[in-house]
Structure 1
Amino acid sequence: MKKCILAALCVCAMLSGGYTQAEEAYPSRPITLIVPSSPGGGADFLARFISPELARLLGKPIVIENKPGASGTIAGSMVSKTKPDGYTLIMAQAASIVAAPYIYKHLTYKPLKDLVPVALVAKLPNILAVNAKSDIKSLAELIAMAKAKPGTVTFGSSGFGTPSHLAGEMLQEVAGIKMIHVPYKGAGPAANALLANQINAMFVLSSTALPMLSSKEIRALAVSSAERSPTVPDIPTVAELGFPGFEVNSWFGVFAPAGTPHSVIEKLNTGIARVLKEPKTEKAFKNLSMDAGGGSPAQFQKFIDSESQVAERLINRSGAVAK
């Protein structure tokens, strides 16, 4: 009997040692990084930008796969159901993580539970803008118009639950105004509507707004970040224009399926952090008005928890639910 117990303990020790070695050997094959949008978007740019250097640091290739649809939830569902071994990751955006649970009532997975944070990659402010031909010259004038004609001023967004939508909801909340939300299927159609003067205003992703500002096609009223953007320092924040605490940013981060070994997540986090500190990364991000992420997985989780609370409040306020 004692010999059997001893043999069993030896087997367990061997298996435990083998598992530890397998974790230490990560990665031993290519990693797939899923992008939940079409090529050319913010998530796609970031995934393709950080992957070459991250692959070099990890010693294995990183394959990018685009799987767009349903505001990123199709890709999110797929990744959440893959083996939690660190070989399938997703470059998710804010809406698909913190807003989707409150917009889509019949998701086949729980974004906040079935995906775990690996690293925050980038944060971007949104620029509140109007068409260059608009009579609105300032945030104060936009608010005055909305108060004078409740329910007639329109603001566009790239879809329900996106930062551009939530920023518009927060502005209504803090300013005590009522505007009409006009959601579009993506940032491109929404920006085109602003350029065509079909909507009164919109919180535009900074990387999208910068070219339009340079060509004088739109007029900036304020930025949604807590501090002014170094790229456009002349544009005031909504907070400093009379609404302290106002902050709604777009952000992107890498996530893994729940259950992924902690050691694997830490290794990925360390690698991404090194890529984000590279001079070429800082230069590229600055040109696009992006702030590099970084921080530990735990810090990222705390940030997500805070963002989720805000998203839930604003979505409930708007009554937005996907059909």
Structure 2
Amino acid sequence: MKATAFLAFTTMTAGLLATDALAQTAWPERTINVIIGASPGGDTDFNARTMARYFEQITGTGMVITNMPGGGATIATSAVRDADPDGYTMLFGHTGHLIVTEVSGLADYGIDDFEICCIPAIDQGAVFVASKASGLTNVEDVKAREPGSITFGTEFGGYSHLQGLIFQQETGTEMTIVDTGSASEKIAALLGGRIDVAGIAYGAVQDYHAAGQMVVLGQPNPERNPLLGDIPTFKEQGVDFVMNNPYIIAFPKGTDPEIVAKMGEVMQQITEIPEYAADLEAGFKQPVSFLPQAEAMTRLNEIRDAYMPSREALQAAR
């Protein structure tokens, strides 16, 4: 009887522990704090808020977007890295926040210090634009200018800084690269004639382009993003300049793998909603893209390896 009772007790206890473990990994049960290293209104903020709206539609649980711009997004990434790994703090960023900052030395950590969930989207709406006052209309105009005579506006140590460096390398040109700041500050500098060229999401400048206040030099996609209209790629102009910028969903290291996997499943469901695709097109001329965890890690490691040769140049400008 004692042995039987002990066995029954042991079985019951194991069952309770298993039930308790399942209860601990039930997710989501409350609002999730999504931290982004960008100001409101930009492409990263837009993608995060669009995701959050459909996340609530699918799960019934809300997300609050917390903007933490500054420091090349290191303020935001540090906040997520140091957060409790309970599944209720999440990073929505991109390769500029988690790879370029590592390459440039702005951060002493990178993708390996987080639980990478997936690539929820890929920015294919980036373009290089020139101010009307610059007189630049295409890549050949850029190549024809005297070294240093073109001013390229960027944020030192960030993704657009790397864009400028790789563009110079592939075109054989030399621009004067200056620290202008955020996308909105670049736009103001272009309109004011303080800089000649910048890399910006087309959705942010399409009205200025349509009004003739800016000229689009090209899109750094391997093939034309049809949502951008009649804008040639740089490859079409004889320049092997391709830089797509995947967005990244990540959790603090140690977050339950089941939570990470469930977030990936929900994100994939979101990408299958037609209204979501329409929102991305209307917002930043962005087609739907999604890479699950394993494919995302492969892609991100390839990008990190490709960017590492620019490490010294990025760090020298800091």
TM-score of the two chains, using structure 2 as the length reference: 0.89
- Structure 1 counterpart of 2:29: 28
**Partner residue of 2:80?**
79
Q: Which residue of 2 aligns with 1:69?
A: 70
Separation in 2, partners of 1:161, 1:122: 23
1:255 is the counterpart of 2:256: no
SS of residue matched to 1:234: coil
User: Aligned residues: percent identity?
Assistant: 24
Aligned to 1:151: 148
Letter in structure 1 aligned against 2:281 = K
Q: SS of 1:38's equivalent?
A: coil
CA contact (8 A) 2:152 2:196 kept: yes
* Aligned residue in 1 for 2:274: 279
Partner of 1:205: 201
Change (3 A) 1:65 1:134: closer
Say how many residue pairs are matched: 312
Aligned equivalents of 1:318, 1:29: Cα separation in 2: 41
Unaligned runs of 5+ in 1: none
Note the residue ranges of structure 2 that are not aligned, 5 or more in a row. Answer: none
Contact residue 85 and residue 260 of structure 1 kept, 8 A = yes
Taking the TM superposition and a 5 Å limit, the aligned residue runs for 1:1-323 are: 14-23=16-25, 25-105=26-106, 107=107, 110-124=109-123, 125-145=125-145, 149-157=146-154, 159-244=155-240, 246-287=241-282, 288-320=284-316, 322=318
- 3-state SS, counterpart of residue 129 of structure 1: strand
Mapped contact 2:126–2:219 kept (Cα < 8 A): yes
Name the CA distance, whole Å, in 2 between partners of 1:269 and 1:9.
34
**Whole-Å separation in 2 of the counterparts to 1:37 and 1:156:** 17
State how far apart, in whole Å, the 1-side matches of 2:225 and 2:121 are. Answer: 14
Measured against aligned partners, the alpha-carbon deviations of 1:203-257 in whole angstroms (never above 9, x if no partner) come to 222221212212211011111111112122311111121123x211334222111
Letter in 2 for 1:258: K
1:264 counterpart SS class: helix
Q: Which amino acid aligns with 1:150?
A: P
Q: CA deviation at 1:15?
A: 2.9
- 1:252-290: CA deviations, max 9, x gaps? 222111122221111111111111221111112122211
> Which amino acid letter does the alignment assign opposite residue 268 of structure 1?
M
Equivalent pair of 1:104/1:321 in contact (CA under 8 Å): no
How far residue 37 of structure 1 moved from its aligned partner, in angstroms, is 2.3
Contact kept in structure 1, 2:105 and 2:315, CA below 8 Å = no
**Matches of 2:152 and 2:226 in 1, distance apart?**
26
Question: Which one-letter code corresponds to 2:313 in the other structure?
Answer: R
Shift of 1:165: 1.8
Q: TM-score, normalised by structure 1?
A: 0.87
Which amino acid counterpart does residue 70 of structure 1 have in structure 2? G
Aligned-pair RMSD on alpha carbons? 2.4
How much has 1:186 moved relative to structure 2?
0.9
Cα distance per residue 1:33-57 (max 9 Å; x no partner): 1122222222222222121221232
Q: Equivalent residue of 2:174, what SS?
A: coil
Deviation at 1:77, TM superposition (A): 0.7
Q: 1:122 to 1:200 in 2, by over 3 A?
A: same
Find the residue that maps to 1:121 and give its secondary structure.
coil
